[in-house]
Amino acid sequence: MKIYLVGGAIRDILLNLKVTDKDWLVVEGNIKLMIKLGFKLVGKDFPVFLHPITHEEYALARTEQKVGHGYKGFVYYSSSKITLEEDLLRRDLTINAIAQDKLGNFYDPYNGIQDIKNRILRHVSNAFQEDPLRVLRVARFTAKLASLNFRIHKKTLELMKIMSNSGELSYLKPERIWKETYNALQTSHPHIYFQVLRKCEALSIIFPEINKLYGIPAPLRWHPEIDTGIHTMLTLKIAAKLTTNVAVRFAALCHDIGKGLTPKKLWPRHPGHGLAGVPLIKKLCKKLKIPNNIKNLSVLAAQVHDFIHDIYNQKPKNILNIYNMIDAWRKPYRVKQIALISEADARGRATLESIPYHQGEYFINMYKYILNINIKNIINNNKLKGIDISEKIQEERLKLLKLYLKS
């Protein structure tokens, strides 16, 4: 029995990146032997084991055959006779098809090390196109490795286009789509994930709501880039620089989604686009089974981001209503989240990426000032009950807000 470290861990070691997960490949092994050695069998579709001490994954060498639709449409064959080269052949990209033995020797039958040196994402074989999830994976790897100047090989991109137009993407399960998207949103360049999906013609299938924004104009006065799709990507790019929070990044992606519903006769204006985007965001989140905290923030950001831009001209009562609307009193973190999304929107415009955005800080500081209110004293001093307490608290908050604006 021979054991090799394989996959992303090898890639990241060669790129001097932090290794977060290690996957091990067992060649010339079998289930009985692994169990005898104390490994715990956990794989459902093919033999995967957990190490008794490290709990890292060990998989028996296997091959696969396409028999149905989607990423689950495979039959896997595992045998002690399957070679290392045969197992590596089934993998997606050459940079993920490298193995290392316990002595540190590399096994690279498909020239993945050279592709790492040349910064190329290249499919291992034409079997690449049998798994539609690989379209999303390559888009995610491009986003993950963007700072290292990786690019997709021309023939690999051609295969991705074929896959996008084959109908196979429609068989992907929502959970898998969201998992890849979530991981992409965690990278330093999440906008590249969506740009790659569009380049290989998958965005219109996976995220039609985002794809529809391309070609929709916005007023040149406010948007030098004009195109709403381009603005959306610039906004996500800025959001990624401001925070690592996935909820904020996703909300930034969706903030202008309602512009896709604006009648052409109103272009380039988009009155009411924030509210119009709410049902689209809810539908998208339901379709991909996106967590409620991300959905709720995205809905709120779509509705209020334009309000934050114009906050200097807003009435105190309306500002207080925004804090109430985002449930700032129970979820104070939302104040900063909304400020960051609004800043990303303001700076997500061609030639305006570095403009100062004081409205966000203003929105945060006002909130902090209002928090000085002592709710216990209000209740005790006024001997209030029920709804009267809420009304009195609102009244006092408004007083403080007006005081802040005067100062």
This prediction has a pTM of 0.94
Q: List the chain pLDDT tens, one digit each, 407 residues.
A: 999 999 999 999 999 999 988 999 999 999 999 999 999 999 777 789 999 999 999 999 998 876 666 556 667 788 889 999 999 999 999 999 999 999 999 999 999 999 999 999 999 999 999 999 999 999 999 999 999 999 999 999 999 999 999 999 999 999 999 999 999 999 999 999 999 999 999 999 999 999 999 999 999 999 999 999 999 999 999 999 999 999 999 999 999 999 999 999 999 999 999 999 999 999 999 999 999 999 999 999 999 999 999 999 999 999 999 999 999 999 999 999 999 999 999 999 999 999 999 999 999 999 999 998 887 777 777 666 677 788 888 998 999 999 999 98
pLDDT at 74: 65
Element (H, E) at 66: strand 62-66
The span from the CA of 400 to the CA of 407, in Å, is: 11
200 in a structural domain: no
338 in a structural domain: no
Q: Which residues pair with 194 in a beta bridge?
A: none
pLDDT at 71: 58
Instruction: Record the tokens describing residue 237, joined without a space.
Output: 């790019």
Taking residue 94's Cβ as centre, other Cβ atoms within 10 Å add up to 26
In eight-state DSSP terms, residue 259 is G
pLDDT at 174: 97
Domain boundary residue, one of 118, 148, 175? 118
126 in a structural domain: no
Q: What residue numbers bound the domain in which 396 lies?
A: 375-406
In eight-state DSSP terms, residue 313 is G
102 in a structural domain: yes
Q: 2-6 and 57-60: which strand pairing?
A: unpaired
Element (H, E) at 75: strand 74-78
The tally of domains found in the chain comes to 2
Domain boundary residue, one of 118, 139, 162? 118
360 in a structural domain: no
Q: Which residues pair with 77 in a beta bridge?
A: 63
162 in a structural domain: no
Domain boundary residue, one of 118, 147, 176? 118
Alpha-carbon torsion (174, 170, 300, 144), positive or negative: positive
Instruction: Record the tokens describing residue 336, joined without a space.
Output: 């900063």
pLDDT at 382: 65
Q: Kindly give the residue spans of alpha helices, DSSP state H, lying in 315-386.
A: 316-325, 333-347, 358-370, 375-382
Nearest to 152 by CA among 205, 95, 204: 95
How many CA atoms lie less than 13 Å away from 298 in the CB half-sphere?
Answer: 30
In which residue are the tokens 């620089």 written? 241
Nearest to 211 by CA among 266, 146, 270, 257: 257
Taking residue 156's Cβ as centre, other Cβ atoms within 10 Å add up to 22
Instruction: Record the tokens describing residue 334, joined without a space.
Output: 């939302």
164 in a structural domain: no
Length of the chain equals 407
Q: What is the CATH number of the domain that holds 50?
A: 3.30.460.10
The span from the CA of 109 to the CA of 84, in Å, is: 9
140 in a structural domain: no
Alpha-carbon torsion (161, 165, 168, 174), positive or negative: positive
CA 273 to chain centre: 23
The span from the CA of 4 to the CA of 218, in Å, is: 54
